Amino acid sequence: MSDTITIFDTTLRDGEQSPGCSMTTPEKLEIAKALVDLGVDVIEAGFPIASPGDFDAVSQIANKFGDQTTICGLARCRTEDIDRAWEALKGAQNVRIHVFLATSAIHREFKLKMAKEEIVRRAVDMVKYTADKMASRKDITRPNVEFSPEDAARTELDFLCEVVEKAIDAGATTVNIPDTVGYATPNHYFKVISHLKQNVSNINKAVISTHCHNDLGLAVANSLAAIEAGARQVECTINGLGERAGNAALEEIVMALRTRKDYYGIESKINTPRLFPTSRLVSSITGMKVQRNKAIVGQNAFAHEAGIHQHGMMQSRETYEIMRPADVGYIGQNLVLGKHSGRHAFRNRLIELGYQLDEETMQKVFDDFIALADKIKEVHDSDIIALIENRAQAASSIWTLASFNATAGTGSLHTAAIKLAHRDGHEVMDASTGDGPIDALFRCLEKITGVHVKLKDYQVRSVSSGTEALGEASVEVEHNDRTYNGKGVSTDIIEASATAYLNALNKVLSGTNAKAIHPQRDGV
Ligand code: KIV
Ligand code: ZN
């Protein structure tokens, strides 16, 4: 008999805490839509008290998608946090508030400066407060309240049992057991969850949840161990996005459960062919690249290079393949269209790739495709996706690149002249010198936009194959101690670099990182 698991996605909350991955509200709405299409059960949309932007995003996501899935807002164990979360969520249909309070000795002593009794009292009071608040809405008969004892994996087991038991008595319907610092190992975490199952008298009244960070590279393994021990909710992010080494990767957990259903006997509601397009979308919006050999959604995840593998595959696919590429919506390096392909074929291909664009965007991307097909002989799926992402990026930008000129050569003085178009319609032109054409361009972009940043990382790679391929540039910059990522594509890598830098400057200008409060670092 098979059992089901609740997939709780926290890409928009824990994932967004990753440096440089802050998103605007329209970007979050786009990801939320993709998560709904993917079939996740709960979307943790943000931390409403953190900033007006976070509040707005949670509220818009809840009102737009709360009839299709459950939307959750995070709150510390403080009345003002809970009030703010409820304010953002209260108008939507299916909502959850997630309250958390650290319980480990190290957090009690150094972060909270609170004794065990105070922690228990605060957790119980705040879970009750949350449940009462939600129950003020007539149609909510069983308030959906999640409680997390932060740093649970490093908490004394007896104390963890006590907090969890009392939180359930106070009204928590889900108890999440976070491995906040990625300290657990699979066997250890299995024992923690088993211990809770055996020693918390009311444990059957709540769902046990797992939330693992990847500092030791064990987040997915630990989550699976917790599921084996009885957890029936798993908290995870697309591409394993998250602070430091990230959170458990949703796509890996889902495909492990599906591929090894013989072993786990557990099903999720995830529409797995949406995994690859959702991964691309998150990578494109956050600017956080997916490594080529990443499990499930990496570009090489289904590439069989070795002759012996290819021979085996030709005899029977299952000799070397445990999942079919189509099961995860994998997009390879297929050669699809050329410059004589019509709009109709192009549109069909976009649908096959999982994109539904409005007429106006579709026309713009088609024009880009024709221009590209004119320049390069072979247009691959990955090129088409890059063009779509480029368009989406340009649509939300304050400044776009109208034209530029940069000189390269052996001398030491290089110049760049740039014309930028502002979204209000006016254009600005200027020129700068620099140590190479890229440096000159970057300086000129800073001069026009008035934003000065420190370049931390700059990379260029080809989107598909061949010397004529589209080039993708990515940059990581720092501004006021915050990190911003930018990405750009073009057949001209100098243009791709300028677009990537401008993308990062646009993010600084639109202030997507302006959070006043960090959920974990800012105490109780
Ligand atoms: O890692 C963590 O402990 C968290 C909590 C807020 C659940 O993200
Ligand atoms: Zn976390």
- Assess whether 371 and 501 both reside in one domain: no
Residue 409 lies in a domain: yes
Cβ-based neighbours of 171, under 8 Å, separated by 6 or more: 127, 128, 130, 131, 143, 145
d(CA 281, CA 389): 8
- Assess whether 262 and 410 both reside in one domain: no
- Across 261-271, average pLDDT: 98
pLDDT at 222: 98
pLDDT at 1 over 60: no
**What is residue 20's three-state secondary structure?**
strand
- Assess whether 224 and 189 both reside in one domain: yes
- Across 278-302, average pLDDT: 90
- Assess whether 32 and 149 both reside in one domain: yes
Considering 380, 395, 410, which residue would you say is the last residue of a domain?
395
pLDDT at 383 over 90: no
Q: Domain with 456 in it: what CATH number?
A: 3.30.160.270
Residue 501 lies in a domain: yes
pLDDT at 235: 98
- Assess whether 221 and 75 both reside in one domain: yes
For the Cβ of 84 lying below 6 angstroms from any atom of ligand 1, the answer is no
Tell me which of 72-81, 228-237, 262-271, 336-345 is least confident: 336-345
Residue 471 lies in a domain: yes
**Residue 342 confidence class, pLDDT cut points 50, 70, 90:** confident
**Nearest ligand to residue 181 Cα:** 1
- Assess whether 316 and 339 both reside in one domain: no
At residue 260, what are phi and psi to the nearest 5 degrees?
-110, 45
- Residue to mutate (ligand 1; options 180, 214, 222; most atoms within 8 A of CB): 180
Residue 515 lies in a domain: no
Task: Tell me the whole-structure pTM to 2 decimals.
Answer: 0.88
| Tally of domains in the chain | 4
**Residue 177 confidence class, pLDDT cut points 50, 70, 90:** very high
Considering 368, 395, 422, which residue would you say is the last residue of a domain?
395
Residue numbers of the domain that contains 381: 331-395
**Residue 142 confidence class, pLDDT cut points 50, 70, 90:** very high
- Across 41-62, average pLDDT: 97
pLDDT at 521 over 80: no
- Across 431-453, average pLDDT: 95
Nearest CA to ligand 1 atom 2: 180
Residue 146 lies in a domain: yes
pLDDT at 307: 59
Considering 342, 366, 395, which residue would you say is the last residue of a domain?
395
pLDDT at 391: 85
Instruction: Give 212 Cα–ligand 1 centroid separation in angstroms.
Output: 9
Please state at what angle helix 275-286 crosses helix 25-38, rounded to 10 degrees.
170
Alpha helices in 175-274 (DSSP H): 186-199, 219-229, 250-259, 261-264
**What is residue 362's three-state secondary structure?**
helix
Nearest CA to ligand 1 atom 1: 180
CA distances (Å), origin 107, targets 152, 282, 411, 472: 10, 32, 57, 43
Q: Which is more confident, 206 or 396?
A: 206
pLDDT at 101: 98
